[in-house]
Amino acid sequence: MTGAQKHIVVTGGGSGVGAETARVLAQTGAHVTIMGRRETPLRAQGLPYQICDVTDPDAVEAAFEAARKAHGPVLGVVANAGAADSVPFARMTAETMTDMLAVNLMGVVNVWRAALQDMKQAGWGRMIAIASTAGLKGYPYVSAYCAAKHGVVGLTRSLAMELAGAGITVNAVCPGFVETPLLDRSVENIIAKTGLSEDAARDSLIRNNPQRRFIQAEEVAGAVSYLFSDAARSVNGHCLTLSGGEI
């Protein structure tokens, strides 16, 4: 079995990596439902959508139930919704840590749990998290984000062992900095806090990448598409890095 003709949910599907991933999966023949908090960007993608905040378990369950009624059991979930914040640890508030964990870690937990029973009943499923190289190494000034993404990697590896016998694979894609609107906001934040030029701010983000370039959304989408393929049926508990050799 492959992801073709399966019902796949992609969170954070209104822009960037989520939108590109949804587009690529739909081209393979999958029935894709995108989810996000804002209707306007979701509607613009031309795919079925549900509005929900992944940090709200009840809203997630309701969105999945609506998607299930419209398109059948959910047998694939790409947990892509996320957020980033940059602040020195000495100035970081408890709220910042809580917020980063809520969206970047608990958001993954909530959407994977919402589809688990469908996958178990089918004896086939694909759980994929869009994590980050920040889940595999540390970066300064983003300790809350790194903590959350490290949590996603641990969750992925643990669930992979727990669910392997049920025909479900659990993997993470860990890109470096991806050229998306989220990256643009990170650059703006660096400029505002440091006074660097835009070129210098962007260079500060890619200097650890041996290829000296940002990852493109279509590269992440391609990795996700591979993980849905039969060729990847033995790939389980893996963190697929897209970082130009940084990791």
Tell me the per-residue pLDDT of 60-73, one tens digit each, with 9 for 90 and over: 999 999 999 999 99
Q: Quote the number of domains for the chain.
A: 2
The rounded distance, in Å, linking the Cα atoms of 221 and 180 is 13
Kindly tell me if the per-residue pLDDT of 191 is higher than 70.
yes
Give the pLDDT confidence score for residue 81 in this predicted structure.
97
pLDDT by residue (tens digit) across 174-188? 999 999 888 888 888
The rounded distance, in Å, linking the Cα atoms of 67 and 44 is 18
Does the active-site annotation cover 226? Answer: no
**Mean pLDDT (whole number) for 112-133:** 99
Three-class DSSP category at 50: strand
Q: Are 22 and 32 in contact (CB under 8 A)?
A: yes
Question: The dihedral of CA 133, 147, 18, 235: what is its sign?
Answer: positive
The rounded distance, in Å, linking the Cα atoms of 45 and 78 is 16
Residues 138 and 196 in one domain: no
Q: Which of these is catalytic: 49, 141, 145, 226?
A: 145
Higher pLDDT, 193 or 130: 130
**Mean pLDDT (whole number) for 203-215:** 93
Residues 190 and 155 in one domain: no
**Mean pLDDT (whole number) for 85-101:** 95
Token output for 209? 């990448």
Global pTM exceeds 0.85: yes
Determine the structural domain holding residue 208 and report its residue range: 180-214
Give the pLDDT confidence score for residue 1 in this predicted structure.
54
**Mean pLDDT (whole number) for 146-170:** 99
**Mean pLDDT (whole number) for 91-111:** 98
Percent of the chain having pLDDT more than 90? 87
**Mean pLDDT (whole number) for 204-227:** 96
Residues 51 and 14 in one domain: yes
pLDDT by residue (tens digit) across 3-60? 678 999 999 999 999 999 999 999 999 999 999 999 999 999 999 999 999 999 999 9
Give the pLDDT confidence score for residue 86 in this predicted structure.
87
Residues 101 and 185 in one domain: no
CATH number where 104 lies: 3.40.50.720
Residues 197 and 161 in one domain: no
Q: How far is CA 105 from CA 54, 84, 139, 188, in A?
A: 10, 12, 18, 25
In a domain, 187, yes or no: yes
Kindly tell me if the per-residue pLDDT of 100 is higher than 90.
yes
The average confidence (pLDDT) of the chain is 96
